[in-house]
Amino acid sequence: MAQSAQARQALSSLSGFPEWLPAGRVVEQHFIDALRRTFELHGFSGIETRAVEPLSELTRKGETSKEVYLLSRLQAEPGRAADAADPSKQLGLHFDLTVPFARYVVDNAGILHFPFKRYQIQKVWRGERPQEGRFREFYQVDIDVVGDGALPLHHDVEIPLIMHEALSALPIPAITIHVSNRKVAQGFYQSTGIGDDKLVEVLRVVDKIDKIGPDRVAAELVGTVGTTRAQAEAALRLATVTGTEPDDLRARVLAALDGAEPGELLTSGLDELEALLRTAARRRPGALVADLKIARGLDYYTGTVYESFMAGHEDLGSVCSGGRYDSLASTGRRTFPGVGISIGLSRLLSRVTGAGLVEVSRAVPTAVLVAVTDEDHRAASDAAADALRARGIAADVAPTAAKFGKQIRFADKRGIPFVWFPGAGTESDSVKDIRSGEQIDADPATWSPASEADLAPQILLAADPSSAAGA
């Protein structure tokens, strides 16, 4: 009988550090394995970087300094007080996977083959206030393509389509990836007369349109940022532009200028965005939609940007995000541009399991419990289990030689579908499907369940999430 994979965590006094119970871990591992398989199908190599980086690298942008966990020895060595005050010699746990990946690329630039396609599934640590969907320790999943000196534009569409394919293979509601382009936003605002000195603030304010509404956005643009009323209205018009049709998108953006002449940067950005939409429509219809209010990471991303949302759970915010960055890393003589996208996996899992969106067939990997007739014959049970395991069938041996009814209840409580009974003397072994009650003679050297789905825990979308959540 299927049981709900709840987001119940092991009891802990440390908030923000999730510990899943076995059913939740089954879901987590299933997600990790499914994502990995998709990435590898597309030629991405898996890497794992060290957990620590020099504090000077982690705090290079400044705004992340409050999030970094420092690493130090309980018993510091004498005479190392000066080192403790030197950020270049202090170590901190990485708060994302981009900083260590940039260092990894530089360190191995003479060995790696470019363009380098990498995926990384690893824990990160952030010292932020724990709340729903936000943890201090969590799994992050990244894919990136990095070039040496240049990176063709077709990778900008490859990345979100691969991630959409990967997420579509998971038992979660449908994902739609929203795309924009920094060049479109920057070029549009330049065309309306907004200076580059105000660009970041304009986008920061416009990004709040879904939270505070267009009237308050307009008021903040004029009163705080210092735009004209006409410029604020133009910014709001651009923020409303969404769609999947390239030609229509361009027409609406130009119309939003309200007569202003489009600059070269805006035209270039629209060309890139149109090309992305056309390719996406051909390869994965419905996966990508243009959304010109996206304003993430303006000081970091240089072209295409992505955010994604799960149907029915838009309140969760973006499930995964990323974009193009033309200066991931540099050695001085060489620059390594890249494009990538990242999932906060623990955040996604917390919502999926907490809302009862998935069901797991069992919380243990065991497909067969081998019963023990009595302790004098435990060796026969061990031999049967070993024979099943040798053929890839997960088997466990009953912990005690209790009455068979009690051993069956032991299996049933754990969701184990089959109980194996070693034969006495010349009698054949038998196996019972405790769900149907069917029992047949069987040989551990040849028997397999009729359905391969019984070999491992299965994770499926819950038929009724509301009832699953309360199960």
pTM comes to 0.90
**Same domain for 392 and 342:** no
Does an H or E element contain 412, and which?
helix 404-414
Q: What is the DSSP string of 423-435?
A: PPTTPPPEEEETT
Q: Are 40 and 46 in contact (CB under 8 A)?
A: yes
Last residue of a domain, one of 358, 377, 402: 358
241 belongs to a structural domain: yes
463 belongs to a structural domain: no
The vertex-443 CA angle with 438 and 449, nearest 5°, equals: 50
**Same domain for 179 and 294:** yes
Span 421-450, average pLDDT: 95
Span 79-90, average pLDDT: 68
**Same domain for 318 and 399:** no
Domain housing 427 = 368-455
pLDDT at residue 297 in the model: 57
**Same domain for 374 and 354:** no
**Same domain for 389 and 334:** no
190 belongs to a structural domain: yes
**Same domain for 390 and 316:** no
| Res 464 pLDDT > 70 | no
Say which CATH number the domain at 143 has.
Answer: 3.30.930.10
341 belongs to a structural domain: yes
**Same domain for 388 and 346:** no
Say which CATH number the domain at 379 has.
Answer: 3.40.50.800
User: Domain total for the chain?
Assistant: 2
- List, for residues 221-266, the tens digit of each pLDDT value: 999 999 999 999 999 999 999 999 998 999 999 999 998 899 999 9
**Same domain for 206 and 121:** yes
- End-to-end alpha-carbon separation of the chain, Å? 12
81 belongs to a structural domain: yes
**Same domain for 405 and 351:** no
Instruction: Identify each DSSP E strand in 278-378 by its residue range.
Output: 288-291, 304-310, 320-330, 335-344, 358-360, 368-370
pLDDT at residue 149 in the model: 94
pLDDT at residue 169 in the model: 95
Q: Mapping DSSP to helix (H, G, I), strand (E, B) and coil, where does residue 411 land? A: helix
pLDDT at residue 83 in the model: 63
CA 36 and chain centroid, separation:
11
Last residue of a domain, one of 358, 386, 412: 358
Task: Please give the Cα distance from 117 to 126 (Å, whole number).
Answer: 26
Supply the Cα-derived Rg of the chain in whole angstroms. 28
The first and second tokens of residue 298, run together, are 């303006």
pLDDT at residue 165 in the model: 98
Q: Are 449 and 160 in contact (CB under 8 A)?
A: no
- As beta bridge partners, residue 111 has none
- List, for residues 379-390, the tens digit of each pLDDT value: 999 999 999 999
How many other CB atoms sit within 10 Å of the CB of residue 296?
A: 17
Count Cβ atoms within 10 A of the Cβ of residue 357 and give its class: 0-12 exposed, 13-18 middle, 19 or more buried.
buried
When comparing pLDDT for 409 and 204, which is higher? Answer: 409
How many other CB atoms sit within 10 Å of the CB of residue 133?
A: 17
Instruction: Identify each DSSP E strand in 258-333 by its residue range.
Output: 288-291, 304-310, 320-330
